[in-house]
Amino acid sequence: MNRRIRVAVSGAGGRMGKEVIKLVLQDEGMELAAAIDRSSHGVDAGGLVGLGEAGVRVTDDLETALATAGADVLVDFTTPQAAYTNTSLAIKYGVRPVIGTTGFTPEQIGELDEQCKEQGIGGLIAPNFSIGAILLMRFAAQAAKYFPHLEIIEYHGDQKLDAPSGTAVKTAEMISEVRKEMKQGNPREEETIEGARGGYYNGFRIHSVRLPGIFAQEEVVFGDYGQTLKIRHDSYERAGYMPGVKLGIEKVMGYTGMIYGFDHFID
Ligand code: NAP
């Protein structure tokens, strides 16, 4: 039997970090090497996620954990401010980074790729670990070749700061790679209430709905004479990202260099 992958988790006390701890403790192919978090240090990582004693105390000292815990992989869901340093430190100690934290610049990704190559290890930075969301983007781009009239509607909780969502922007970009820029609708159309037709992107519209009770959903609606096609993905909770995180942890063991984007792992 193959050796289990030893996983360290930074941001262990955060909403995503806790889901990762649960994943690692419950997956037969992985074991928890270390859990790092500033606010919950000292407590048992299993207790932190309601699974009972795991025998791993949460620490606030990432560097010591990377140097001593024998981790193969570091999974990081923290903040853009912390994640670059955490990733670089992991690479320095030969621990493969699997990063869900968003906000890396292309320059930072390039630097981290160099560092991974120097160390001869793999790394992954994935701003979206949802397999369903990635498939939605692919299917939408495929459909846009045949149905160039479309609108995107995305739904998120009312506390989300940015609009449209990063996933909606990425969907629009992927559609625009295969669909020639073309203005839709009536050329004399006028809004009587500002914003009623949504945000304009290469001739089509993106609508952002913000309401309490919603987690993350996206729909791409295509229209043609006599028919419509709707492609929709609904996320209900953070656990939905974990199959993607698991695949990332397994894949990163097998290549060298930093890969950006989880879609590279989906055929
Ligand atoms: P969260 O609940 O606020 O958790 C953030 C964690 O980071 C906490 O454990 C926090 O611990 C820690 N942290 C904050 N500042 C830190 C610092 N300077 N140094 C070290 N640790 C620090 O956030 P979340 O919802 O889990 O999201 C975390 C990140 O994942 C965000 O960037 C989010 O956009 C991203 N995300 C990505 C995906 C994806 O599919 N890739 C999905 C969801 C979310 P302390 O407060 O104790 O420091």
14: domain CATH number is: 3.40.50.720
Q: Are residues 79 and 170 in the same domain?
A: no
Domain of 218, in residue numbers: 131-235
For residue 101, what are its two tokens? 């934290």
Q: What is the mean pLDDT of the chain?
A: 95
Question: Which ranges of the chain have pLDDT less than 70?
Answer: 1
- 89, 71 Cβ separation under 8 angstroms: no
| Residue from 39, 60, 78, 81 to probe ligand 1 pocket by mutation (most atoms less than 8 Å from CB) | 78
Atom 4 of ligand 1, residue of closest alpha carbon: 14
Q: Are residues 182 and 57 in the same domain?
A: no
Distance 100 CA to ligand 1 centre (A): 9
Cα 172 to Cα 143: distance, rounded to the nearest angstrom = 13
Tally of CB atoms within 10 A around 119: 17
Q: Does the C-beta of 148 come closer than 6 Å to ligand 1? A: no
Q: Are residues 219 and 247 in the same domain?
A: no
Maximum C-alpha span of the chain: 67
Q: What does the chain come to in residues?
A: 267
**What's the Rg (C-alpha) of the chain?**
21
For residue 201, what are its two tokens? 């992107």
pTM: 0.87
Q: Are residues 144 and 208 in the same domain?
A: yes
Q: Are residues 201 and 213 in the same domain?
A: yes
CATH number of the domain to which 137 belongs: 3.30.360.10
- Does 97 sit behind a cis peptide bond, omega within 30 degrees of 0 on the bond before it? no
Q: Are residues 115 and 150 in the same domain?
A: no
Q: Are residues 164 and 94 in the same domain?
A: no
Cα 129 to Cα 126: distance, rounded to the nearest angstrom = 6
- 69, 46 Cβ separation under 8 angstroms: no
Q: Are residues 121 and 244 in the same domain?
A: yes
For residue 25, what are its two tokens? 């403790």
Question: Angle, nearest 10°, between helix axes 106-119 and 80-92?
Answer: 20
Q: Are residues 30 and 117 in the same domain?
A: yes
Atom 33 of ligand 1, residue of closest alpha carbon: 101
Q: Are residues 69 and 163 in the same domain?
A: no
Q: Are residues 197 and 256 in the same domain?
A: no
Cα 34 to Cα 57: distance, rounded to the nearest angstrom = 8
Write out pLDDT tens, residues 252-266. Answer: 999 999 999 888 888
| Residue from 18, 36, 38, 236 to probe ligand 1 pocket by mutation (most atoms less than 8 Å from CB) | 38
Q: Does the C-beta of 85 come closer than 6 Å to ligand 1? A: no
Q: Does the C-beta of 46 come closer than 6 Å to ligand 1? A: no
Q: Are residues 228 and 247 in the same domain?
A: no
| Residue 1 confidence (pLDDT) | 56
- 241 — alpha (psi -120 to 50), left (phi > 0) or beta? alpha
Q: Give the count of domains, the chain.
A: 2
Cα 185 to Cα 194: distance, rounded to the nearest angstrom = 17
Q: Does the C-beta of 76 come closer than 6 Å to ligand 1? A: no
